[in-house]
Structure 1
Amino acid sequence: MNTFLVIILVLAMAATLFSLIRGIISFLQTTKEELNSPDKGPSASSLKQNKMMFNRIFFQAAAVLIVALILLMNGGSQ
């Protein structure tokens, strides 16, 4: 069971890193014209940034919960 949880943990950490990098890339691709546009509402780039950062928080929370589960499972065997 520990091996399975560690594999899931590594996947959650990789997904966190992937979402973080995608969010930063979206942020860096935002142009000055986009920021100064008179349009109401967020741009497509802003929506993508928001989605990627929300995904990062979700995967990061999943990784923390998996670590807590591993610690709880191994804490009782000592």
Structure 2
Amino acid sequence: MLNDPLFIIAAIACLTVVAILILGIGTFGKGGEGSAKRSNKLMRYRIYAQAVAVALILLFVFMRRMGG
């Protein structure tokens, strides 16, 4: 499984989601209006990255079940 490039890409996508989440929470914790706007923007990016990660995971599972 670790030799499968699609698995590695999906894992990197998941780690990217976690990194964006941590940055967004950290920015939100600082306080201030500028931080709130930046945190809000980061959370939107997290949603997009999470959608990509879920799609990659589903593609990986589909490919594995089909024997690919």
Q: TM-score range by the shorter chain?
A: 0.7 to 0.9
Supply the AA of the counterpart residue of 2:52: A
Structure 1 stretches of at least 4 aligned residues deviating more than 4 Å after TM superposition: none
1:21 is the counterpart of 2:22: yes
Residue 75 of structure 1, CA deviation: 1.7
Provide structure 2 residue ranges, at least 5 long, that are not aligned to the other structure: none
Residues 6-53 of structure 1 show CA distances to partners (whole Å, capped at 9, x for unaligned) of: 1111111111011100111111100xxx4xxxxxxxx32122101111
Q: Which has the larger radius of gyration?
A: 1
Q: Following TM superposition, by how much is the alpha carbon of 1:74 offset from its aligned partner in structure 2, in angstroms?
A: 1.6
Matching of residues 24-63 of structure 1 within 5 Å:
24-30=25-31, 34=32, 43-63=33-53
- Helix, strand or coil for the counterpart of 2:17? helix
Task: Return the alpha-carbon distance in structure 2 between the equivalents of residues 17 and 76 of structure 1.
Answer: 29
What root-mean-square deviation, in Å, do the aligned CA atoms of Structure 1 and Structure 2 show?
A: 1.4
State the TM-score, normalized to the length of structure 2: 0.83
- Following the alignment from structure 2 to structure 1, what is the Cα–Cα distance between the partners of residues 8 and 63? 16
Q: Which amino acid aligns with 1:18?
A: A
Aligned residues: 65
TM-score (norm 1): 0.74
Identity %, equivalent residues:
34
Q: CA deviation at 1:62?
A: 0.9
